[in-house]
Structure 1
């Protein structure tokens, strides 16, 4: 018997973890009208835009158009009959959407109409709580004593909520309850993962039954999405989903053969005697006691019930692997990204997997994950238990005002490609759970975020790379550029570096509460830049002092694809991503200009001070 030839190189020196496969194509819930919903009540409407006031409770306005779902209930519209149910019924589901809360408003999205992820205006709350934004709502039992009627509620890991009137982003991976042939429940529903504004707030939360106020108390295999409609104004857009309702492929008739040797290069195993062989129920590296220098060949049948494209993700720590299905190579050896895809017919298909181990310091381990049409990615092997041990994260909290210097990597706007590294970053944390990063090399506010402070694992683990990462929901200010500048014309581009500005950083000084004020010289002007947490943790307030300002000097407060002026000196940035509120422009008038395909908010430097807030 001649085995397939197997080429391996140093690129196989990869960790053991199985990275998630590329997400399948999501369907979009149409919002051109209300036909995607069952018997909508008058509080629900389709709109082209929505807006909420930062200062007025339960006030939201909607503009005509399509693409947005808006709930505007009256105080008299109370009760479940004002909720909105989809025609779509689902079991396992990945759900993703944007939503906007009015000030003081309350809503929720119920998976299968029974398990609620709470939507709430929790802006400014220092801690997350059951009933707060992003929480998995509690169950309820009127028979329990007072104070104990609510139970099994799960607050978000941290409060990463944004301000009323800003768009927030929710992602939910839901696993429906399982039932046997007689209809008896054999497995509880789970929130596999919930992300709010880019931050994981729940993982693998088991739901023993419906949360409070379900569509019905019974649990089912499939049910509709339900949007709460009687607790306050809320808007939704970009509602997308993937349903998983197809049978998983199964591995059958598995056998293994172990060969002793160091298989790093092309090898023909036809005449190599096996070290061990036999049947096996589950793919596993535990079929041999050899710690190193071996190859395992697994053969069997992959029973595919649903034809279509399948994606495979192979973890082979300490060496490499190869996957062949239906006599086609699906995962090729020779690279660190052990993934592959193939279109498979329904039926029983030949299966072969090779795993070689030749790195002495790694533990043996093997993992294979698969996703397919209507099938959420799952591990079809035993869990990977070998290779490099996962690093224990190194977190830095900010129970008091905290200053930490590190590199900080800023992703490109597209989210793809190389990041920009801030080499002179200063991250400032506060007990109000609002933090920011400042670039000493450019006098620039790099980013602000809400939630926990820093993950310093990349900086301090092993030799480290000197960088840290925000742990909360981040609002970035674009690529760092000097805050002040001169313009040769109204259409001149803002300088991307400090060349010609005479920029000289002068470090920072701490006040009595350990909050830094940054100092630098630019264009012959002495600048002091004090950034403080805004009242009630609603954002940051920046007060910049100029001494002997030069003529024709401008301050650049924000850039974005859109900047929309609002009342009371406020500007909505990037399609309701964050708000800039100008409080004192030193007698100057702020201006919005369009240049290079973007918009910028500028203020001529007239007086000694400029103060504004970033609300998010």
Structure 2
């Protein structure tokens, strides 16, 4: 924070902003350029779409029914339905793109195959890879191989990149993809000076690629293997049924901003003990770059820059200061931006040059001093100007699950100021894991991919928290699985008052898999959760001794819950499946506090599966 004296004016005096203001470097995620979401009310965004492409208002895939999607007529969802009599064709955008951020949802039919080609040349694979434990370049989210028919068999495919982990969901569930693509660069003579890149790709919230250089087009590219500064977005349509929605493309065409005319003054001592307008500098100079290391001092100094920031286009920009080994402040266009990294602020800038002041305050001799400016804006991907970023020297503490593995920790509840404080996370070599809340007998979350990061738990003093590494499906605000209801419309209890709830720990089977035990409403409960044999989800069996006549289990809550028949449900906008096993009581789908809940009477034994 900056504390300004009552009589101070911009450009004259800054006094006492945090003595230890730069605890570490923390650049925030890039702020995107203006987004263009495709409304999908018609097919006008595409050139000459083939007959297999159409629009729908809703779409479903059926488990056990390969390469098939069922649609509801309407608009808003783009669907490809190739068949034996209607061979699908690739779909090309009318507009051509260079650097873009692409964000969309997609749904695969069972066994289906598709892909997204950036500029029509570089393919990110879309595939039903449900349950694959060791993904390859041809699996969902992989960067497809380049191809050379002249090479020996087994070597024709090369330079493909598998996703870091398999974050894929089941057929019929919506999957979310975010990709930052950088086009190849060319000089004035048309010679390529820089390869294309996948800067970052996330699948279902999991980082699967980062800074991957694409040395040439992948197999099946347009143009006979040539490369261009711009090209169409292309969706593969000849391999299987697939659906898309919420397609958003953000273009980045604006040249990078520049800092110029940088002059600096260096002051000795702590920032909060002097006024820069009256203090005498120990050194002055000019610098071609923004750096924390100008001047002769190495500890407890203040570095004050003045200069100009040049942006080509007028508009709203987002700026943040990145510092390490100290703190900093920006003053531009009448606005102060303090702190580091996460304190990103928006400011309206005119086209051309704007005066800027930047202060860096070195505190003590801890940390490597560094200073940089992060800026994004209209048509501009996030740009960093300054010292090379020194990475955090803390290696992440990762826990793998090469065998059935149990770890107790805290688990954060996203969007709420609370934690599950008696959480037991159970990992499996099938790369399907879950967290159980022993305070409520609740299944908190399941996820697919890698197991846990425990850096917050064990680094230095720690805070006890572990974090799932894979694609997580959470089950809402923590609630008790079992409860008594006087009627089917009674609100679900949020606490243990009158329930007699008593956790009794867990026992391990011969494969080190836990079965949880507790008492509630006078009954003894065993709760066994197992990964399904095919790795498609988990199987849960609750056994209740002496259940009360009005005892229910709450199985799911969400904005939407759809019945697909045969005791199969789609939960929370096609996020996951719940399947009750034969012999279970008839479930009740009800409204509750603006959401849907699925509850079921408990007569003694309850079994169901969660597929995701």
TM range (shorter): over 0.9
Matched residue, 1:371: 376
C-alpha distance in 2 between matches for 1:200 and 1:474: 13
Local SS of the residue matching 2:426:
strand
Preserved CA contact (<8 Å) 1:364 1:385: no
What is the match of residue 50 of structure 1? 59
Q: Superposition pairs for residues 55-70 of structure 1, below 5 Å?
A: 55-70=64-79
TM-fit CA distance, 1:289: 4.7
Q: Does 345-354 or 9-18 show the bigger shift?
A: 9-18
- Distance in 1 (CA, whole Å) between partners of 2:405 and 2:349 is 55
Q: Does 1:111 align with 2:107?
A: no
Matches within 5 A, 1:460-499: 460-499=458-497
Cα offsets for 1:320-363 (capped at 9, x unmatched) = 2222335x3342x4688543332222223323211111243233
Change (3 A) 1:507 1:264: same
Task: Report if the CA contact (8 A) 1:330-1:340 is conserved.
Answer: no
Contact 2:552–2:601 at 8 Å: present in 1 too?
yes
Q: Determine if the alignment matches structure 1 residue 258 to structure 2 residue 269.
A: no
Listed as ranges, the gaps of 5+ residues in structure 1 are 413-417
Query: Are 2:165 and 1:163 aligned?
Result: no
Q: Measure how far apart 1:488 and its partner are.
A: 2.0
Shift in CA distance, 592/194, structure 1 to aligned 2, threshold 3 Å: same
How far apart in 1 are the matches of 2:85 and 2:147? 25
Shift of 1:420: 2.6
Give the equivalent residue in structure 1 for 2:141.
Answer: 134
CA contact (8 A) 1:189 1:206 kept: yes
Aligned to 2:35: 26
| Residue of structure 1 equivalent to 2:5 | none
Matching residue within 386, 405, 408 for 1:381: 386
User: Equivalents in 2 of 1:303, 1:589: separation in Å?
Assistant: 67
1:561 paired residue number: 559
Equivalent residue number for residue 397 of structure 2: 394
Tell whether the 8 Å contact from 1:538 to 1:615 is kept in structure 2 after alignment.
yes
Larger CA deviation: 243-252 vs 391-400: 243-252
**Residues 615, 148 of structure 1: CA spacing in aligned structure 2 closer, same or farther, 3 A cutoff?**
same
How do residues 144-543 of structure 1 correspond to structure 2 at under 5 angstroms? 144-216=151-223, 217-265=225-273, 267-272=275-280, 274-326=281-333, 328-331=334-337, 333=338, 337-385=342-390, 389-412=392-415, 418-543=416-541
Equivalences, count: 601
Q: Deviations over 1:99-146 (max 9, x none)?
A: 000000000111111111100000011111110000011111112111
1:466-514 Cα shifts (integer Å, max 9, x gaps): 0100000011111221111111222211111222111111100000000
1:290 shift after superposition: 2.3
Structure 2 counterpart SS, 1:173: strand
Verify: 1:594 aligned to 2:556, yes or no.
no
Deviation at 1:160, TM superposition (A): 0.9
Describe the SS at the equivalent of 1:97. Answer: strand
**Deviation of 1:261 (Å):** 1.9
Inter-partner Cα distance in structure 1 for 2:339 and 2:513: 51
TM-score calculated relative to the size of structure 1: 0.94
Does the 8 A contact of 1:408 with 1:421 survive in 2?
Answer: yes
Q: What residue number does 1:36 align with? A: 45
d(CA) in 2 for partners of 1:289, 1:45: 67
Q: How does 1:70-89 map to 2 (within 5 A)?
A: 70-75=79-84, 77-78=86-87, 82-89=89-96
SS at match of 2:327: strand
Aligned partner of 1:96 in structure 2 is 103
Instruction: Say if 2:129 is the partner of 1:122.
Output: yes
- For residues 38-74 of structure 1, what are the alpha-carbon distances to aligned partners after superposition, in whole Å with 9 as ceiling and x for unaligned? 0001000010011111111111111101100000011
Secondary structure (helix, strand or coil) at the match of 2:271 reads coil
Contact 2:130 2:171 in 1 (8 A): yes
Distance 1:11 1:286, change over 3 A: closer
Aligned counterparts of 2:274 and 2:420: Cα–Cα separation in 1:
44
Rounded to whole Å, the distance in 2 between the matches of 1:542 and 1:264 is 60
- Residue by residue over 1:391-413, the C-alpha shift from the partner in whole angstroms, topping out at 9 and shown as x without a partner, is 2100000000001000111113x
**Residues 536-582 of structure 1: per-residue CA shift (max 9 Å, x gap):** 10000001111111211111111111111112210110111000000
CA distance, structure 1, for counterparts of residue 108 and residue 98 of structure 2: 27
Distance (whole Å) between structure 1 residues aligned to residue 255 and residue 238 of structure 2: 38
Aligned residue number for residue 415 of structure 1: none
Q: Retained in 2: the 8 A contact 1:558–1:602?
A: yes
Contact 2:33 2:251 in 1 (8 A): no
> Which whole-Å CA distance do the structure 2 matches of 1:199 and 1:335 have between them?
25
- The question of whether the paired residues in 2 share the 8 Å contact of 1:570 and 1:579 is answered with yes
Q: Which deviates more, 460-469 or 21-30?
A: 21-30
Distance 1:159 1:480, change over 3 A: same
Q: Which piece of structure 1 moves more, 7-16 or 276-285?
A: 7-16
Mapped partners of 1:266, 1:54: distance in 2: 70
Please give the alpha-carbon distance, in whole angstroms, between the structure 2 residues aligned to 1:140 and 1:471: 33
Helix, strand or coil for the counterpart of 2:324? coil
**How far apart are residue 21 of structure 1 and its match?**
4.5
TM-score, length of structure 2 as denominator length: 0.95
Q: How far does residue 185 in structure 1 lie from its aligned partner after superposition?
A: 0.7
CA–CA distance in structure 2, aligned partners of residues 134 and 159 of structure 1: 8
CA RMSD of aligned residues (A): 1.8
Whether contact under 8 Å (1:438, 1:444) holds in the other structure is yes
1:610 aligns with 606
